Amino acid sequence: MVNPHRKHIFSIHTGYYCSVIILSQISICSLFSMPPSDQFSKHPGAFPVATNGEPFPWRELRLPNMVIPLHYDLFVHPNLTSLDFVASEKIEILVRDAIQFIILHSKDLEIMNAALHSEEDLRYRKPGKKLNVLSYPAHQQIALLVPEKLMADLRYYVVIDFRAKLADGFEGFYKSTYRTLDGETRTIAVTHFEPTEARMAFPCFDEPLFKANFSIKIRRQRGHIALSNMPKIKTIELEGGLLEDHFETTVKMSTYLVAYIVCDFKSVSGTTSSGVKVSIYASPDKWSQTHYALEASLKLLAFYENYFDINYPLPKLDLVAIPDFGAGAMENWGLITYRETSLLFDPRTSSAFDKLWVTRVIAHELAHQWFGNLVTMEWWNDLWLKEGFATYMELISVNATYPELQIDNYFLNVCFEVIKRDSLNSSHPISNQAKTTTQIREMFDAVSYNKGACILNMLKDFLSEEKFQKGIIHYLKKFSFSNAKTDDLWSSLSNSCLEGDFTSGGFCYSDSKMTSNTLTFLGENVEVKEMMTTWTLQKGIPLVVVNQEGRSLRLRQERFLKGVFKEDHSWRVLQEGYLWHIPLTYSTSSSNGIHRYILKSKTDTLDLPEKTSWVKFNVDLNGYYIVHYEGHGWDQLITQLNQNHTLLKSKDKIDLIHDAFQLVNAGRLTLDKALDLTHYLQHETNVLAILKGLEYLESFYHMMDRRNISDVTENLKHYLLRYFKPVIDTQSWSDEGSLWDRMLRTALLKLACHLNYAPCIRKATELFSQWKESNGKLNIPTDVLKIVYSVGAQTTAGWNSLLKHYELSVSGAEKNKILYALSTSKHQEKLMKLIELGMEGKVIKTQDLASLLHAIARNPKGQQLAWNFVRENWTHLLEKFDLGSFAMRFIISGTTSHFSSKDELQEVQLFFESLNAQGSHLDAFQIVLETIPKNIEWLEKNLPTLRTWLLVKI
C-alpha cells in the first residue's frame, strides 16, 4: 500500500528546499531540469572534486543511464610471481542522450590510457580520441571526459589500458594460496565480484541493470590453466613460453557474474542428458574429494532444467573449490566458486551434516543460474528475488534429488533462525533501500535469504505447488536475460493460473473482469500483490492470538516483538501501522483436515463446525507467523502432548515447542509452562522434536555457564543428563542410521561429553588415544569426530597433536572439526595462540578467523578474550575484511550478542560509539545493542522461575 500523503509531502519539501537554495549564487533546482552535461558545464562548482582538483561531473552514487554498455572485450594478464596484473578492455557503448562524459566504476586501478573510437574510426582504423580521466574514489567512479559531445543513438567504443596489484582480501581479482602435501606454497588468481567488486578488476558499469556480453582473453604460463564463464575456444602460443586463452562470448549478463581464474587445479567431469559439460575443480591433492559434488551437480542441474522448463543456457558449468574464500560460494554464470568446505566431500572425515551442507550449497548456486543470472533484480534493494529464491529452491531440489537427506526438516531451522532476527525492532523489510556499498553488503543477511525463502514457501502452500511452479516459470521466461522487480514476480504468480475457472480447493481466475493480480481463493477474490507486499514492504513477523470459546475462535493479529511486553509504553507505539494478510491454516482435535482462512484485519472470528478440545494453527509450519493460544489453549495442547502426542503431526509439535519459548521472550507465556511442554519429550521418537527441545534447554545451560550462575548451571546439568540419559545411552559411536538419526547422535553425544558424562568421556578418550597411536590414520566415525577431538583437546599433549594434524590435513571438513575442538580449551594462552595464527593467516587461514572468534567467544574461558581482541584490533581486522562483509558482521555479533550483563552492555555501547565517531556504522551494531538488553531482561524475569522449576524437577 502506498502512503496517500507521500507525494504531497515530497512536493512541499522540494519547494521549500529550492526556495532556500535560490538565495545562494546557484539554483540547485534549475540544475535538476538541465541535462547532466549542461549542469556540469554551467555549474561545475556544484559538483564533487576529483583527485586532481578538477570538478567531477557526476554527484550520484548510482551511474547515469545516458550511456549503456553492450559488449566488453577484456584482456587480462596476471603475474603470479609479482602478484599484479596488466589488462585492457574495449567497451562498446550505446549513447541514449547527448553527453560530454562517461561515468564508470573503478576502484584501486591505475588507468594508463583511455581513448574513444567511433564506429567509423574502427571501420577505417583511425586513431581514437584520447580521453581525460578524472577519479572520484569516494564513489569508486571515474569520469572519461570527451572532447566533443557524444551523439544520442550512436555507438562508440571506449578503450582503456590499466593495471593493479592482485588484491589481498577476498574481493575483486585476488590472490589465493594453498600448500601441497610436500609443503610447497602455490598461488592462484581468482575473482569475486558480488556485489560491487567487478570495478576492482576492470573499469565497468558495475550495477545489475547494465547487462552486456563479455569476450574474455587471459594470458598465463604453461603450468597453469585459465577458466572463465564460457568454454575456451582457442589458445595462442606467444613468445617467452606464455599462452593466451580466448573464451567464447558470454550471454548478456551483469558485471557481478563475470569470473576468471588462473590456477593449476585438476578436475573431474560429466555431461548432463541435455549436453552440458559439468566439471569440478580442486587443488591436485584434493581432487579425490570432488566426486560427490559432480554426482550432485549433474542430478541437480537436470532437475532444474526440468522444473523451470528452461534449459541451462551455457554449454558448460564449472564448480571450483577455492582455498581462500570469504563467502560460502558465488554463482558466477558458468564458473561457480566455492569455499572448499562447501564443495568438497571426504568420506573419511565429512559428517552427515557436512553432506547436507555441501548438497544445499550446490543446489543454492545452481538455482542462481536461473534466479539471479538469467533473471536479475534491477537493484540490490530486491536482492531477495535471487537469494530468497535460491534458498527456497534448496528445499525443492534436494527433496526431489536426495529425499534421504530430508531437507524439509532442515528448512524448519531456516525459518526459526530468521525469526530471531525479525522479532527485533532493528530488523528491516525484505525489500529494503540500499545505496552505499556497505548498505548493499548488509542486504546479504538472514532476512533476504531465510525470510525470503520462508514467505515463498508460505505462498507456495497458499497457491498450491502446481500453480506456484507455473508462476515462477512464467516469471523466468518473461524476464530471461533481463531484470525484474518484486512486483513483476507477483504479477507472474497471479498470471500463472490460466486454465479455467475456480474449482473447489484450487486457485484460478473466475472471470475475465478480474485484475491481473487477482486470484480466487475459496470463492473470495485475493490480490496476490496486495497480500504479499504486507510481507515484503514491512519488517517483522506477526503474532496470531487465538482465543477459543466453545465453537468460536476469536483471532487477533499483532506485531511480535522479542523483549517488548504488552505493559511496556513502547509496545503500543511499535504496533502502529502493522497489518499482514496472513494465510492461516489450522487443524483440530476432531478433524484430520487442514482448514484455511486469510486474516486481513486486526481482529476476526471463525466458527468451527463442531466442538473440539484443541485447535492448532500453522499446520506443518508452512506459515511465517507465531501463534499464542490464550485462555486454556496452551493447557489443552500440553495435555494432549502428555496423553497422546502422536495425534499431532511431527512438524506441529516442533512448532509448539518453538512458539512456546518465543512467547516467553515476549512475556506472553511463563517459562515454567514452556518447560512443562517439553516434558512429553521423554516419550517422543521424532528426532526433530527432541532436537528442538534439547536446543532450548542447552541454550539455557550455556547462558548460565557463561554468567557463572553455578547453582542453576549444576542443576541444569543434572536435569539434562537425567532427562536425556535413556536416549544418550542408546547412541552408538558410529555413522549408522538416517541423516537425522546421525544428527541426533552428534548433538546428544556432544552435549553429554560437554557435561562430563563419564561414559561419554571414557569412550571419546579411548578413541582419541587410538587415533593418536595410529598417527592420525585411524578412521573415527565422522559423526563423532568433532566430539572425540574436543575431548582430546583438553590435555596439552592432545591439543598440540591436534594443531599439528590441522596443519597436515587436506580435508576442510576435518580442519573445521579440529579448529572447533582446539577452541574448547580451558587455557587462555592456547586460545590466544589460535587467534594469533588466524591473524597471521598461514596455519589458520584468514577466511576462518571469524568463525574461530565466534567459537572462542562461546567458550566461557574465552568470551572476554575474544571481545577484548576485537576491540583492540579493530583496525587490523578492517585491513583483512571489508566493513560490511559477512566476516565483520559475524565477528561483531559472534563476540557480543550473547552478553547478558549491564557492564558488558556498557562496554559494547562505548565501543560502538567510538566506531560511529570514526565514520564506521553497521546495522549489526544496532542489532547487538537491541539484543544485549533483551538478554539482561530475560535473565531478570526468568532466572527465579528457572531456578525454582529445576529444584522441583530434580
CB-based contact 457:411 (threshold 8 Å): yes
Other Cβ atoms closer than 10 A to 833: 17
Query: How do beta strands 232-237 and 155-165 pair?
Result: unpaired
Q: What pLDDT was estimated at residue 921?
A: 87
Select from 896, 889, 949 the least CA-distant residue to 700.
949
pTM (two decimals): 0.93
CB-based contact 802:830 (threshold 8 Å): no
Residues 580, 598: Cα–Cα separation, whole Å = 10
| Cα dist from 913 to 849, 909, 928, whole Å | 24, 6, 13
Select from 237, 189, 196, 217 the least CA-distant residue to 73.
217
Select from 211, 374, 254 the least CA-distant residue to 308.
374
pLDDT tens for 403-416 read: 999 999 999 999 99
C-alpha cell at 216: 574474455
| Known catalytic membership, residue 527 | no
Q: What is the phi-psi region of residue 919: left when phi exceeds 0, alpha when psi lies from -120 to 50, beta otherwise?
A: left
**Active-site residue among 365, 558, 684, 814?**
365
Residues 697, 691: Cα–Cα separation, whole Å = 10
CB-based contact 412:621 (threshold 8 Å): yes
| Cα dist from 5 to 2, 244, 429, whole Å | 9, 60, 21
DSSP H or E stretch at residue 569? helix 569-575
SS3 803: helix
Residues 695, 691: Cα–Cα separation, whole Å = 6
User: What's at 781, amino acid-wise?
Assistant: P
Q: What pLDDT was estimated at residue 731?
A: 96
> What angle, rounded to 10 degrees, do the helices at 849-857 and 828-840 form?
160
Residues 832, 902: Cα–Cα separation, whole Å = 26
DSSP H or E stretch at residue 147? strand 141-150
Q: What pLDDT was estimated at residue 515?
A: 43
Sorted by sequence, the CB contacts under 8 Å of residue 617 that are 6+ apart come out as: 544, 546, 584, 585, 586, 623, 627
- Residues linked to residue 471 through DSSP beta bridges, in sequence order: none
Select from 196, 156, 152, 140 the least CA-distant residue to 69.
156
| Cα dist from 682 to 520, 693, 700, whole Å | 45, 11, 19
Residues 541, 543: Cα–Cα separation, whole Å = 7
Residues 716, 727: Cα–Cα separation, whole Å = 17
Q: What is the phi-psi region of residue 560: left when phi exceeds 0, alpha when psi lies from -120 to 50, beta otherwise?
A: beta
Give the torsion through C-alpha atoms of 657, 662, 668, 672, to 10 deg.
50
Q: Please identify every stretch of the chain with a pLDDT value under 50, giving residue numbers as ranges.
A: 1-34, 497-516, 522-523
| Cα dist from 435 to 207, 222, 322, 384, whole Å | 12, 43, 30, 16
∠ CA 382-385-387 to the nearest 5 degrees?
105
Q: What pLDDT was estimated at residue 445?
A: 95
The per-residue DSSP string of 467-532 comes to HHHHHHHHHHHHTTTEEE-HHHHHHHHHTT--S-S--TT-EE-SSTTS-TTEEEETTEEEEHHHHH
Report whether the peptide linkage leading into residue 195 is cis, meaning its omega lies within 30 degrees of zero.
yes
Residues across the chain:
954
∠ CA 732-735-741 to the nearest 5 degrees?
75
DSSP summary character for residue 450: I
